[in-house]
């Protein structure tokens, strides 16, 4: 059995008086996609940079493909692909030129022209990096991470600054990587990204793991409590609905037009809700039973206050 | 969902590229970027060319005749310093700022190649500069000896390595804006007070001894000995250059940061 792609134990890293990472631990299995999910400043990028060998941990142990990224970096780097957060190219370099340079560093690179084409960059292959849009720069950075056919890729906020089409493409790429046995460690603060891509989600806040599991595990409700969600016209009077539902069911409207029924949700409850909607003359859209959204879990764990 | 990518497209096949290929691709990219940058071309080519023509044709400072023979080694020394030190330092300062070094350091490119590629790129630009400046000098009547040219090649390589190490020392440690300012100031000071325009032997005795210890003076003096006097460069000039290069190189391995 081969070693895990990434193992992190009790990782600590401080910058001056600020503790960026405070006892973090997780594991990425071979061929799996793990998302580090957390608000800005949670310590995600610091953790990834330690895994890449760019920073030394103050305490704790990190093994990437079984190697110490600091002392065995020269053996590790040919096997990994890295997409850093922002930047990472000469301002005057042409997109194709940059990708060919990174491709030259690999033994069996993918065809740079093909990679530019699938990432929608063939039209700006000769454009200097500084004149690419933010999303194009991100896609070039992704191409640089993938061109060497790595065993493991680190993607630090891969879809930041991308339009929805480009984001969808990146998601498809990550799914294809996973299908081909590439391990992926990505960071994001987008719930739907973590939910769509990750086998394993690690929610990080203040440099600590606050929850981890598969997206399904994290969003599963407690044993006696389920949720029923639906969307309809905002501001409906839910008094009649509460009266018709069994004892203990609560009805709220957490966001305008987004209704939440919490309690023991059985088939009868679903039927009661849809009957009430019919009485009100509204259509219950996106009716969903049993799962909190990852966003709820995230906000419950990391707080709803806006951070400075 | 994976319709766009055939299964097996991304099946891992990792490994480092061949060092020679990495080195040449890196060096070629560095050289191409230098030559594409307008400010760099001004610094590395147009200013030395203007000085070559100006000092040869306009009698602002007194020089031994034929003037072009005295001017050419100085302009060669300036060209080496401009590219390997000033140009290199500024490029490195901004490459660090823009995450280029981190990007390249995350590939299979070994650390030594990260430096070697830049040095080789510099050397390629220096060769191009000296060819252009040499042709211009020849048009002005410069006629070097074969032995002088051979020494020039060796001194150019040594000078590029020395000034390159100094450039990496400056560009690898400080903020990009500070590097930009310092690299230009040092260039200007060395050009006028560092034994290039005014060679050390024309300066007052006390000052000459100090200036002679500078790499700019050593390179100018070595090139003058090779090209004007037709002799081998004095051991002292070679030793001075080598000492600066080794000192800067050693220090740079401790101070250079990726970002």
When pLDDT is averaged across residues B189-217 and rounded to a whole number, the result is 88
As a whole number of angstroms, the distance between CA A218 and CA A37 comes to: 12
Say if the Cβ atoms of A78 and B1 lie within 8 Å.
no
Q: State the pTM of this model.
A: 0.85
- What's the pLDDT score for residue A121? 95
- What's the pLDDT score for residue B189? 92
Q: What is the mean pLDDT of each run of 10 residues along chain A (308 residues)?
A: 90 93 95 93 93 94 96 95 89 95 96 95 94 93 96 94 90 95 93 89 92 84 72 88 87 86 86 91 86 74 67
As a whole number of angstroms, the distance between CA B196 and CA B199 comes to: 5
Q: Does position B122 have pLDDT exceeding 90, yes or no?
A: yes
3-state DSSP call for residue A155?
strand
- What's the pLDDT score for residue B200? 82
Residues 6+ apart with CB under 8 A from A36: A26, A44, A47, A48, A185, A186, A187, A188, A202, A204
- What's the pLDDT score for residue A90? 93
- Chain mean pLDDT for chain B: 92
Say if the Cβ atoms of A172 and B4 lie within 8 Å.
yes
The gap between the terminal CA atoms of chain B, to the nearest Å, is 38
* Residue B44 per-residue DSSP state: I
More confident residue, A58 or B207: A58
Q: Tokens representing B187?
A: 């260039």
Q: Does position B30 have pLDDT exceeding 90, yes or no?
A: yes
Residues of chain B found within 8 Å of residue A104, distances taken between Cβ atoms: 17, 21-22, 25-26
Q: What is the 3-state secondary structure (H, E, C) of B35-48?
A: HHCHHHHHHHHHHH
Strands lying side by side in the sheet with A6-15 = A18-28, A6-15, A59-64
Say if the Cβ atoms of A172 and B22 lie within 8 Å.
no
As a whole number of angstroms, the distance between CA B183 and CA B215 comes to: 15
As a whole number of angstroms, the distance between CA A126 and CA A93 comes to: 9
- What's the pLDDT score for residue B27? 96
Give A266 to chain B, closest Cα distance, Å.
33
Using CB atoms, pick whichever of A54, A74, A78 lies closest to residue B15: A78
- What's the pLDDT score for residue B177? 95
- What's the pLDDT score for residue B115? 87
Say if the Cβ atoms of B14 and A92 lie within 8 Å.
no
Residues 6+ apart with CB under 8 A from A65: A3, A5, A6, A76, A79, A80, A151, A152
Q: Does position B1 have pLDDT exceeding 70, yes or no?
A: no
Task: Tell me what ipTM this predicted complex has.
Answer: 0.89
- What's the pLDDT score for residue B2? 43
């Amino acid at each position: 059995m081969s070693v895990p792609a990434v193992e992190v134990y009790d990782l600590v890293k401080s910058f001056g008086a600020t503790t960026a990472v405070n006892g973090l631990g997780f594991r990425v299995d071979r061929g799996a996609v793990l998302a580090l999910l957390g608000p800005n400043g949670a310590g995600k990028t610091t953790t990834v940079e330690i895994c890449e060998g760019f920073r030394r941990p103050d305490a704790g142990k990190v093994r990437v493909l079984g190697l110490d990224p600091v002392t065995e970096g020269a053996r590790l780097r040919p096997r990994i692909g890295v997409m850093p957060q922002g930047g990472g190219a000469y301002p005057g370099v042409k997109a194709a030129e940059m990708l060919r340079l990174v491709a030259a560093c690999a033994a069996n690179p993918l065809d740079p022209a093909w990679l530019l084409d699938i990432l929608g960059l063939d039209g700006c292959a000769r454009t200097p990096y500084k004149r690419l849009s933010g999303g194009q720069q991100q896609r070039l950075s992704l191409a640089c991470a993938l061109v060497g056919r790595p065993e493991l890729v680190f993607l630090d906020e891969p879809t930041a600054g991308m339009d929805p089409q480009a984001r969808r493409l990146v998601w498809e790429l990550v799914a294809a990587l996973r299908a081909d046995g590439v391990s992926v460690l990505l960071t994001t603060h987008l719930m739907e990204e973590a939910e769509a891509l990750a086998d394993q989600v690690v929610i990080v806040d203040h440099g600590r793991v606050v929850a981890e599991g598969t997206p399904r595990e994290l969003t599963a409700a407690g044993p006696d409590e389920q949720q029923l969600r639906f969307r309809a016209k905002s501001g409906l009077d839910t008094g009649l609905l509460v009266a018709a539902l069994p004892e203990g069911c609560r009805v709220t409207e957490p966001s305008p037009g987004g209704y939440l029924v919490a309690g023991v949700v059985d088939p009868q409850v679903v039927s009661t809700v849809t009957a009430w909607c019919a009485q009100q003359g509204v259509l219950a859209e996106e009716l969903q039973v049993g799962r909190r959204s990852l966003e709820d879990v995230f906000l419950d764990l990391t707080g709803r206050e806006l951070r400075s | 969902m994976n319709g766009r990518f055939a299964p097996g497209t991304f099946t891992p096949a990792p490994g480092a590229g061949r060092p020679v290929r990495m080195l040449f691709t890196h060096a070629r990219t560095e050289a191409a970027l230098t030559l594409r940058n307008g400010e760099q071309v001004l610094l590395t080519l147009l200013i030395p060319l203007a000085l070559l023509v100006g000092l040869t044709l306009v009698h602002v400072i007194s020089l031994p005749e034929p003037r072009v023979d005295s001017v050419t080694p100085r302009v060669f020394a300036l060209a080496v310093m401009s590219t390997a030190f000033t140009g290199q330092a500024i490029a490195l300062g901004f490459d660090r700022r823009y995450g280029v070094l981190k990007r390249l350091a995350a590939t299979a490119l070994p650390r030594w190649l990260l430096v070697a590629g830049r040095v080789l790129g510099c050397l390629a630009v220096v060769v191009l500069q000296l060819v252009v400046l040499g042709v211009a000098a020849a048009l002005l009547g410069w006629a070097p000896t074969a032995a002088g040219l051979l020494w020039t090649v060796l001194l150019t390589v040594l000078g590029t390595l020395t000034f390159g190490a100094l450039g990496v020392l400056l560009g690898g440690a400080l903020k990009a804006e500070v590097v930009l300012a310092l690299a230009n100031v040092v260039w200007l000071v060395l050009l006028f007070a560092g034994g290039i325009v005014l060679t050390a032997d024309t300066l007052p005795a006390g000052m000459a001894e100090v200036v002679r210890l500078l790499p700019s003076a050593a390179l100018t003096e070595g090139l003058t000995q090779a090209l004007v006097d037709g002799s081998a460069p004095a051991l002292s000039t070679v030793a001075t250059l080598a000492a600066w290069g080794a000192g800067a190189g050693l220090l740079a391995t401790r101070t250079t940061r990726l970002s």
